[in-house]
């Protein structure tokens, strides 16, 4: 009997709050999909380099999932409390009929169990299929062939999902049992006769709060855009100001809004407008905290989405300019100088005996030398007037003009020319470039000669293959300026004869073997004390790795935040609509036709959904301005605009979808019951 009652109740709430259950199912599905990444088919055919990335991704998602489970747990507990509130009268009737609290708790436990099994079952089923889709996407990113399709199932992700959501539902059950034991019959029965203690706030309080909130925003925006990078404390201040401002904004909004609209009598006294605005303002009045929180969460969502996707995109773009050569081998000479000076000066090819490999594999190659200890950043104060003090003592690399031009020619670019006593600066780091003030004049001294800045702009070249754009400043001087100095490092840049990845792998291995064979030989003179090599393939893989990790996590967090926000908004509106059936019936009796009523409902839900979103968008615009500095670390070339458009697209689909579903749900609820 109790079981029957529970099933009946679940079926009824499924109908009325379908959006909530869909969200729950969606949450379970997302949780499974992202946690099953390591066992997806695409991952089983990865090379070791890629496997490392996936391991990193898996553990990152593991940690993120704990956080995510808190968010989803909050959603479930909040919604459950919300639904319980609506059911007070029903519970009161059970009690009135003589059911004891233990039995009522048991009914609720059975209900929670049913809902849990229902959402977990469907969510996991959908998740298992969706993970095959994600697998295909990952395969696309790693450019893998998935012709032999294989259905995969991750047992660990399955158990993990069961465990996490099991705990969430257990908490809900405990929560319900506790709240039932606290309920008094009289309050339950009178719950529907809620004396709407509709507080009308003093308009001056609203105005004051509104002014303070605007001041908070102004201060936070100003600080974060001008001084946000200087210290964590300032950033924290901005965040606190933003949060306080947002809450105060929604606290004061209903009063202000109503005042403004009421002043426009033509608008206010038109159709059902009066009703709509009053409804909204009373709703914001009571729910300003949750609206504020939703606004902040939407802000986090949008910044995560756009910054995450931008970083991913930027990092895959940066790889093109970061790896101009198939292989770059760098050798560092001994730092004490004794042996280096006694030994014959050699370049990499000679030092490691690589001529044979070069003849076999290289279409073209160029060898360059760097002088690392001649100049410091503090030697060009006019060009770097406000470089942070910590960086002032760091050395700048020096390269000869002829080496520099060799590099340019090998990359198919025009060589540069400098006067006899002139120098130029190369820098490809987008983060550091803004620090250079190239319009100033500057002289440096080398070999007792003075050299003037010859080219008043930054040269933006990549001199050898590297993992990201990290050249913070290289000074180019005429060859004569360097006579008498010993280079600290040599770099051999190689372009292979063929560009396919199998050939590249073979060639890279040949060079690698050549070097290690030479190093192990007895007669190796150790002119180059240590060496490193960077190949294009490796750079690609690692950058793809960064893109994948960052974008997957951004999408994971973003989606969960987003569905949590919209689910809460939808739930509040649906509950509101079921409370309001009386009001809508009254409007109908007063002769408002269905069109007017639907319009009122639509406007009301639209404004309610739009408010937190609009403020969040304003926050996001500022947040993106700020975070674009981080994105530039990973390379430029991407306009954050395109990524914002992608974000806007995702937001539009999810937010719009929930909005429409809510509207249709509410419309169904207020439809007059036919006899």
Q: With respect to other proteins, which residue has the nearer C-beta, 254 or 627?
A: 254
Q: With respect to other proteins, which residue has the nearer C-beta, 268 or 524?
A: 268
Helix (H, G, I), strand (E, B) or coil at 425: strand
> Does the protein bind other proteins through residue 201 (CB under 8 A)?
no
Q: With respect to other proteins, which residue has the nearer C-beta, 195 or 448?
A: 195
Rounded-to-integer distance, Cα 122 and Cα 22, Å: 10
DSSP string, 160-194: HHHHHHHHHHHHHHHHHHHHHHH--HHHHHTTTS-
> Does the protein bind other proteins through residue 278 (CB under 8 A)?
yes
Q: Residue 219: name the closest of 198, 252, 242 by CA.
A: 242
Parallel, antiparallel, or unpaired for β 474-477 and 395-400? parallel
| Cβ partners under 8 Å of residue 46, min gap 6 | 54, 142, 144
Q: The tokens 């973003």 sit on which residue?
A: 558
| Cβ(364)–Cβ(492) below 8 Å | no
Name residues contacting other proteins, limited to 258-277 (CB under 8 A): 265-266, 269-275
Smallest gap from Cβ 591 to other proteins, in A, equals 2
Site mask, other proteins, residues 214-253, x = CB under 8 A? ----------------------------------------
Site mask, other proteins, residues 524-563, x = CB under 8 A? ----------------------------------------
CB crowding 22-51: b at 16 or more within 10 Å, else e? bbbbbbbbbbbbbbbbbbbbbbeebeeebe
State the number of binding residues for other proteins (CB under 8 A).
31
> Does the protein bind other proteins through residue 673 (CB under 8 A)?
no
Rounded-to-integer distance, Cα 433 and Cα 426, Å: 9
Q: With respect to other proteins, which residue has the nearer C-beta, 101 or 588?
A: 588
Element (H, E) at 279: helix 273-322
Q: With respect to other proteins, which residue has the nearer C-beta, 272 or 569?
A: 272
> Does the protein bind other proteins through residue 200 (CB under 8 A)?
yes
Rounded-to-integer distance, Cα 462 and Cα 536, Å: 13
Site mask, other proteins, residues 155-194, x = CB under 8 A? ----------------------------------------
> Does the protein bind other proteins through residue 573 (CB under 8 A)?
no
> Does the protein bind other proteins through residue 591 (CB under 8 A)?
yes
The sign of the CA dihedral 183, 189, 194, 195 is: negative
> Does the protein bind other proteins through residue 586 (CB under 8 A)?
yes
Rounded-to-integer distance, Cα 156 and Cα 164, Å: 12
Q: With respect to other proteins, which residue has the nearer C-beta, 215 or 586?
A: 586
Give the one residue of 4, 182, 589, 673 binding other proteins; rule: CB under 8 A: 589
Q: With respect to other proteins, which residue has the nearer C-beta, 262 or 456?
A: 262
| Cβ(452)–Cβ(423) below 8 Å | yes
Name residues contacting other proteins, limited to 281-320 (CB under 8 A): 281-282
Smallest gap from Cβ 288 to other proteins, in A, equals 16
> Does the protein bind other proteins through residue 195 (CB under 8 A)?
yes
Rounded-to-integer distance, Cα 571 and Cα 564, Å: 11
> Does the protein bind other proteins through residue 279 (CB under 8 A)?
yes
Give me the residues that bind other proteins (CB under 8 A), please: 195-198, 200, 265-266, 269-275, 278-279, 281-282, 582-583, 586-594, 596, 675
């Amino acid at each position: 009997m109790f079981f029957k009652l529970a099933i009946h109740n679940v079926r009824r709430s499924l109908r009325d709050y379908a959006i909530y259950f869909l969200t729950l199912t969606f949450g379970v599905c997302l949780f499974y999909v992202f946690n099953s990444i390591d066992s997806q088919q695409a991952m089983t055919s990865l090379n070791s380099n890629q496997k490392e990335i996936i391991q990193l991704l898996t553990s990152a998602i593991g940690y993120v999932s704990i956080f995510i489970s808190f968010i989803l747990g909050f959603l479930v507990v909040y919604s459950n409390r919300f639904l319980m509130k609506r059911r007070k009268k029903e519970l009161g009737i059970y009690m009135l009929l003589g059911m004891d609290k233990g039995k009522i708790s048991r009914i609720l436990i059975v209900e929670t169990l049913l809902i849990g099994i229902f959402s977990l079952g469907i969510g996991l089923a959908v998740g298992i299929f969706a993970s095959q889709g994600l697998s295909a996407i990952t395969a696309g990113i790693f450019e893998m062939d998935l012709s032999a399709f294989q259905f995969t199932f991750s047992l660990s992700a399955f158990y993990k999902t069961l465990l996490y959501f099991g705990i969430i539902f257990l908490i809900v059950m405990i929560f319900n049992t506790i709240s039932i034991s606290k309920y008094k019959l009289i309050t339950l029965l009178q719950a529907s006769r809620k004396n709407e203690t509709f507080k009308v706030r003093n308009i001056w309080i609203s105005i004051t709060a509104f002014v303070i909130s605007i001041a908070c925003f102004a201060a936070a925006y100003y600080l974060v855009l001008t001084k946000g990078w200087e210290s964590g404390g300032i950033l924290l201040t901005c965040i606190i100001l933003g949060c306080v401002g947002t809450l105060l904004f929604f606290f004061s909004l209903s009063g202000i809004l109503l005042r403004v609209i009421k002043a426009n009598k033509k608008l206010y006294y038109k159709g059902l407008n009066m009703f709509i605005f009053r409804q909204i303002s009373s709703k914001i009045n009571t729910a300003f905290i949750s609206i504020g929180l939703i606004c902040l969460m939407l802000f986090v969502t949008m910044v995560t989405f756009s910054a995450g996707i931008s970083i991913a995109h930027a990092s895959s773009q940066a790889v093109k300019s970061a790896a101009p050569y198939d292989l770059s081998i760098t050798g560092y000479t001994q730092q004490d100088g004794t042996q280096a000076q006694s030994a014959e000066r050699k370049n990499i090819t000679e030092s490691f005996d690589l001529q044979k490999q070069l003849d076999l594999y290289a279409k073209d190659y160029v060898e360059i030398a760097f002088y690392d200890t001649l100049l410091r950043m503090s030697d060009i104060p006019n060009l770097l007037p406000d470089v942070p003090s910590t960086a002032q003592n760091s050395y700048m690399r020096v390269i000869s003009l002829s080496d520099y031009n060799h590099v340019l020619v090998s990359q198919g670019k025009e060589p540069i020319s400098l006067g006899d006593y002139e120098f130029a600066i190369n820098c490809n780091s987008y983060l550091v470039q803004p620090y250079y003030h190239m319009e100033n004049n500057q002289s440096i001294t080398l070999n007792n000669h003075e050299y003037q800045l010859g080219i008043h702009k930054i040269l933006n070249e990549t001199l050898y293959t590297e993992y990201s754009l990290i050249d913070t400043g290289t000074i180019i001087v005429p060859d004569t300026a360097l006579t008498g100095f010993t280079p600290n490092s040599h770099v051999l840049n190689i372009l292979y004869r063929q560009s396919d990845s199998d050939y590249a792998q073979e060639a890279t291995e040949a060079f690698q073997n050549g070097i290690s064979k030479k190093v192990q030989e007895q007669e190796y003179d150790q002119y180059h004390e240590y060496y490193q090599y960077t190949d294009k393939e490796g750079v690609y893989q690692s950058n793809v790795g960064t893109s994948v990790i960052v974008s997957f996590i951004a999408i994971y967090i973003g989606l969960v935040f987003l569905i949590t926000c919209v689910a809460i908004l939808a739930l509040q509106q649906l509950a509101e609509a079921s409370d309001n059936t009386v009001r809508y019936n009254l409007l109908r009796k007063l002769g408002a036709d269905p069109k007017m009523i639907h319009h009122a409902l639509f406007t009301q839900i639209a404004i309610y959904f739009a408010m937190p979103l609009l403020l969040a968008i304003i926050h996001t615009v500022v947040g993106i301005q700020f975070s674009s500095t981080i994105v530039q670390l990973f390379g430029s070339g991407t306009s954050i605009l395109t990524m914002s458009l992608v974000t806007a697209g995702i937001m539009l689909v999810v937010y719009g979808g929930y909005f429409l579903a809510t509207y249709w749900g509410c419309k169904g609820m207020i439809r007059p019951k036919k006899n």
